[in-house]
A and B are shown apart, each in its own frame.
Chain A
Amino acid sequence: QSVLTQPPSASGTPGQRVTISCSGSSSSIGINYVYWYQQFPGTAPKLLIFNNDQRPSGVPDRFSGSKSGTSASLAISGLRSEDEADYYCAAWDDSLSGWVFGGGTKLTVL
């Protein structure tokens, strides 16, 4: 069982906006930055969002992140077929003195 809680799956049609939630605790998301990763089968994860809501260069502005209290969200607007992947949230947990990941959300573009 992961320390951060994500829905196992999400879906949408091309052009739609989808959101993926990530629930943590006061010792993780509540006081530390949230990071979001995208992973395609057979490849290493790629950073999508850092510091809760910042995009690395090269990440389309269709991807956005937000945080409120002990929860965070990743939003993908203008959904495309190439967005079909697994998405993970991550944060440092002060109580555990370690990084914690969500269990991952498999996004399907219908």
Chain B
Amino acid sequence: EVQLVDSGGGLVQPGGSLRLSCAASGFTLSTYTMSWVRQAPGKGLEWVSLLSGGGSTYYADSAKGRFTISRDNSRNTLYLQMNSLRVEDTALYYCALLGDTYGSDYWGQGTPVTVSS
């Protein structure tokens, strides 16, 4: 059974850092292009970052220069290192498989990040 478990969220002050994790089971993360997607309270979905199977990375403008996506193949885990956090980064963060042309659909349960003083 495919499962994604998101963790690492929490309360952090503006300017602080957090590292989110997404542990995968039932499939090999490195063979897929995985994304982080966030959802601010009461708002819609916003794509944050992507890591391809080949190792290419892409970031939303809101994340460029502050967030880093990475993967540990030995742990089958996806990460999102978030630095210089802002109040507007407050959201529920999901790791997800987006855009699979075979219709696969994998989402974590989300991990909440709150940036507040």
Once the chains bind, are A103 and B44 in contact (CB under 8 Å)? yes
Q: Which residues of B contact A (CB under 8 A)?
A: 35, 37, 44-47, 50, 58-61, 94, 96, 98-101, 103-105, 107-110
Which residues in A have their C-beta under 8 angstroms from that of B105? 46-47, 56
Once the chains bind, are A99 and B59 in contact (CB under 8 Å)? no
Once the chains bind, are B59 and A98 in contact (CB under 8 Å)? yes
A35 on interface, CB distance cutoff 8 Å: yes
Find B98's partner among A51, A55, A99 (CB 8 Å cutoff).
A99
Which residues in A have their C-beta under 8 angstroms from that of B99? 33, 35, 50, 90, 92, 99
Output the least CB separation between A5 and chain B (Å).
12
Instruction: Identify whether the interface residues of A are mostly helix, strand, loop, or mixed.
Output: strand
Q: Which of A96, A99, A100, A103 has the most CB of B within 10 A?
A: A99
Which residues in B have their C-beta under 8 angstroms from that of A99? 35, 37, 47, 50, 98-99
Which residues in B have their C-beta under 8 angstroms from that of A104? 44-45
Output the least CB separation between B40 and chain A (Å).
12
Interface readout for A56-92 with B: 1 if CB under 8 Å, 0 if not? 1100000000000000000000000000001010101
| Complex Cα gap A71–B106 (Å) | 26
8 Å CB interface, A23-52 against B: 33, 35, 37, 39, 44-47, 50-51
Output the least CB separation between B100 and chain A (Å).
7
| Complex Cα gap A100–B37 (Å) | 10
Once the chains bind, are A56 and B103 in contact (CB under 8 Å)? yes
Once the chains bind, are A45 and B107 in contact (CB under 8 Å)? yes
Once the chains bind, are A98 and B101 in contact (CB under 8 Å)? no
Given contacts A54-B103, A57-B103, A99-B98, contact A44 B47 (CB under 8 A): no
Once the chains bind, are A101 and B46 in contact (CB under 8 Å)? yes
| Complex Cα gap A96–B99 (Å) | 16
